[in-house]
Structure 1
Amino acid sequence: MSFKDLKLNRPILRAIAEMNYDEPTPVQEMTIPLVLEKKDIIVSAQTGTGKTAAFALPILQQLFDRQDATNQAKTVKALIISPTRELAIQIADNFKAYSQYTNLTTALVFGGTSVEPQVESLKKGVDILVATPGRLLDLHKQDVINLDYVETLVLDEADLMLDMGFIDDVKKIERLCPKDKQVMLFSATMPYKVTQLASAILKDPETVKAAPISSAADNVQQLLYYVPKPKKIELCLHLLRNTIKGNIIIFRRTKYGVDKLEQTLLRNNYKAESLHGDKSQSERQQAYNNFKNKEAAILIATDVAARGLDIDQLDAVINFDLPNVPETYVHRIGRTGRAGNFGKSYSFCSADEKPYLASIQKMLFTKLEVEEDHPYPLDPQAKPIVHKKKGSKHKKGRKSEASKKNKKRWYK
């Protein structure tokens, strides 16, 4: 199938041809016709499957006939909600690229940065609005954004949105839009909470499943290293010196862990950048740009910060900490081995992470390839390190010197 077969307009076809899109991906092929039929849809698809184009192209097609309204007369007709700023920026950039030969306008609003430029862009009139939940509700409260004319609502990365605690915001946004809108929900995984949200806000939805969850791993060689927790940094440096080359993302579970590893790598003369939720928007954008432009070879990130990042030709992924949610492992390693290329993932497993490993292998229906030839092997009998809370250094029932001397106190 070609994009022409999907009955898209010439200006849109011209834009995607210039972006070297040859033929639709499976998720685009399945989703675009349903969107054009004005159906509500639930799409289960991971990053890298082309899902942004799957909703952006038909939305632009639907709005094409009304593209020539004067800017002041334009109202928000398509609203796309994204959990993170980085993802929102990428979605808005895609909309602008696909619509470059139309008069349709796209605006972007997200938190962590100055509100004035965003207000100015909204005042000019927009057809498509891409937003993070918090900033959208703030601007709606200030009467800067009017959602009365929304015809299409897209919830992207719904599972991450709920993980980040946005469920109430999402429900509120949905209620602020007209009742007869078209709703699309995109989610990499479909936990119960996402299914519950979908049944509450979608009407007779069609379901699209793009590629089984384990297929993301098909082009990735997955290597497993058993290593004591205190030796993970040494193992990481060893592999960077001797084995792993090129562009690498290293995943850590916590912001503190990301910062600590970044400092270690910088001290060892590696060009590294880091991403996590405590960094300002400008810092995150700078780190992302430096890595994408290959000014830094290593990006250290938490899962939330890295979700949805669009990075081509990633050579390897290091799971410095194994994730406690098995689907997250698939998202991580799916960053490499994309678009027909092959990649590698290196996972470090300490004694306390063995239950996480068992869950991952159970979901993948396979055992990861164990690499035993390294300097920091884990004793197979090693037990998880238990951190005991230190008690008081004083013995129980300790009496003060005053008590011992039976001195009278001034208080009772």
Structure 2
Amino acid sequence: MTAPATAPATHDRLPALLDAIRAFLAARVLPLEPELLQREFRDLLPRLAALRAEVKAQGMWAPFLPASLGGLGLSLAEYAEVSAVLGTSPVGHYVFNCQAPDVGNMELLHAHGSPALQKRWLAPLVAGDVRSCFSMTEPEFPGSNPVWMGTRAVRDGDEYVVTGRKWFTSSADGAAFAIVMAVTDPDAPPHRRASQIVVPMDAPGVRLVRNVRIMGEAGSDWASHAEVQYEGVRVPVGNRIGRQGEGFALAQERLGPGRIHHCMRWIGICERALDLMCRRAVSRELSPGKPLGLQQQVQFWIAESRSEIDAARLYVLDTARRIDAEGAAAARDAISGIKFHVAGVLQRVLDRAIQVHGALGVTDDTPLAYWYRHERGARIYDGADEVHKASLAKRILKRYGMEARE
């Protein structure tokens, strides 16, 4: 099925790049999917590593990064289009070194890391030689409130001593380092209490407690969501990213582009799900000569999915262009809006596609069941949809004179 034409790009080479990525995915990545869906991802990492080497050799590596770091120097809006294409495969972003949380960690280290941190951690991350993780959410505190946490980083001379417990530390299993959000100034105002600190995962006192099972999947290597204990971990003060107390501000800065990355990946999943739905509708016969696509309800699902995906795509791309032009603060409302809007579109499109596939849809013979399990969290992580809806509504109502009351 042909996706709608992408919006005009400011970068002349973007259309050709998108075509090249689609061709690479079709020829080299999609044929691996049956194995990927039936086996542990770690079993296929050597083959995925070979594909990553091919991508690098073809000059399509890490397109979100500036050319000075070996990327393609795309704007956020341009990379959003790339992310949607990569999202059509469960491992598309990984093969192109665009996977979360590494994308956000690379952007953070590039913008705010010291030269020493960039040399020690950013360079191998950009090269694809290591993985990283992001450690913010804690079991005892709501993840949607990033100013409320118990992990402490206490200054002791030229070191921080980090103590606390985190979970949903994305990709901790196999990561070389974590960017840990920890309270460094407990007496400061709420939004100035925390800092972000690079912690090597092999440092004494770092303990990977477990990989949390998510919808029946434990995760491994690049796909884990781990619980991690930091027990008096000592790291140099120079491992801090930015100034002390800037952890929340850095998290917010990371949030805008991160939402674009997530939402466009979800749109890529929707495009693939719709394609599979349409193929099933024309190939599956209810009786001889009567394909499933003749059913009006199936036609409704296809039409609704197409219109919802198109609208979501334009909403996200407009938000990305606004961030590029005016910064994330100016796009704050839209950044909240795209998160819950596209997460809802994603779940509806996947649900329709599974229904059209019938019993086949709940097997791992297609990627639909995998995505349905893996992406149900879209309405929860990065802040529950309900939190974003309430926050957005309060900001809107404030412009009409109503002050928020708790």
Q: TM-score if structure 1 supplies the norm length?
A: 0.24
